[in-house]
Amino acid sequence: MAKKELLIIADYSEESLLTLEELCGVCDIRIEVIRDFVSHDIVKPTGNAPEEWMFDVMQLQRLQKALRLQRDFELNLHGAALVLDLLDELEKIRAHITLLEKHYSKSGE
C-alpha cells in the first residue's frame, strides 16, 4: 500500500508572520518540536519568549526543509542544522559566482 502524504498549500506573502501555534498547524507538529528546533538554531523566531515568537516565511521554509531532512535522511537535530547551514553557504557562494559572472561579462564587452 502506497504511503500518502498531506500537502498543505498556503499563500503567505513576505510580510506574513506566523505565531508558534500557527506554525504548528501549518507544519502539523507539536510545540515541543519547534522549541527543539529553536534551541538548535534551526529556526530563529522574533520575540523573546515562546508566547511572543513570530516566524516569517523564510523560517517556515527552513523548518519544512529540516523536517524533510529528518524524515528522508533520518537526521537528528544537529545533522539537520549542519546540512541547512551548508545549504545556506552554498546558496551564498552561488549568488556570489553569479554576481562575478555578471561583472566579468560586462567588463568583457
Number of domains in the chain: 1
Q: Which residues pair with 54 in a beta bridge?
A: 19, 46
Cell of 73: 535522511
Is 13 inside any structural domain?
A: no
Cell of 77: 537535530
pTM, whole model, 2 decimals? 0.77
In angstroms, rounded to a whole number, what is the distance separating the alpha carbons of residues 109 and 101? 13
pLDDT of residue 79 exceeding 90, the answer is yes
Cell of 67: 523536517
In angstroms, rounded to a whole number, what is the distance separating the alpha carbons of residues 34 and 44? 10
pLDDT (0 to 100) of residue 1: 54
pLDDT of residue 76 exceeding 70, the answer is yes
pLDDT of residue 38 exceeding 70, the answer is yes
| Nearest Cα to Cα of residue 57 among 25, 10, 103 | 10
Q: Give just the sign of the alpha carbon dihedral 60, 65, 68, 69.
A: negative
Is 91 inside any structural domain?
A: yes
Is 1 inside any structural domain?
A: no
Question: What is the CATH number for 27?
Answer: 1.10.1660.10
Mean pLDDT over each residue of the chain, to the nearest integer = 90
